[in-house]
């Protein structure tokens, strides 16, 4: 199976999950996976929310940020993956002056 993100419509979303600012994303979604190419713009965040469909894995390509999962804060930078297990709550914040670019993979359980 191949997923061509170049053929997926770019969406711009303000304040995802009651977060701040904007993010841009291209999302592939089926019964088994949700795979999202995401850029959280400077000053933006994904608000605190509960992971219900599966483990949420976020690999950082560029930019800097913070993830808070079940009250534990982690630094995000290129080459780091943040994993929020199903049933946990987390938020992701762009703390830098450039886009926080990441690939999110959720394997639905």
pLDDT of residue 62: 98
Whether 51 and 92 have beta carbons less than 8 Å apart is answered as no
pTM: 0.92
pLDDT of residue 45: 97
pLDDT of residue 104: 96
pLDDT of residue 109: 75
H-run or E-run covering 5:
none
pLDDT of residue 1: 87
* Residue ranges, the chain, pLDDT below 50: none
Domains in the chain and their CATH numbers?
7-108 (2.60.120.10)
pLDDT per position as a tens digit, 9-29 = 999 999 888 999 999 999 999
Question: CA 65 to CA 27: how far, in whole Å?
Answer: 21
């Amino acid at each position: 199976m191949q997923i061509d993100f170049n053929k997926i419509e770019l969406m711009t979303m303000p304040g995802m999950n009651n977060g701040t600012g904007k993010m841009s994303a291209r999302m592939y979604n089926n019964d088994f996976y949700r795979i999202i190419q995401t850029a959280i713009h400077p000053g933006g965040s994904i608000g605190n929310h509960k992971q219900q469909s599966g483990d949420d894995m976020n690999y950082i390509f560029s930019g800097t940020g913070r993830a808070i999962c079940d009250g534990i804060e982690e630094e995000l930078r290129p080459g780091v993956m943040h994993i929020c297990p199903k049933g946990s709550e987390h938020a992701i914040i762009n703390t830098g002056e450039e886009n926080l670019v990441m690939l999110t993979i959720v394997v639905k359980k």
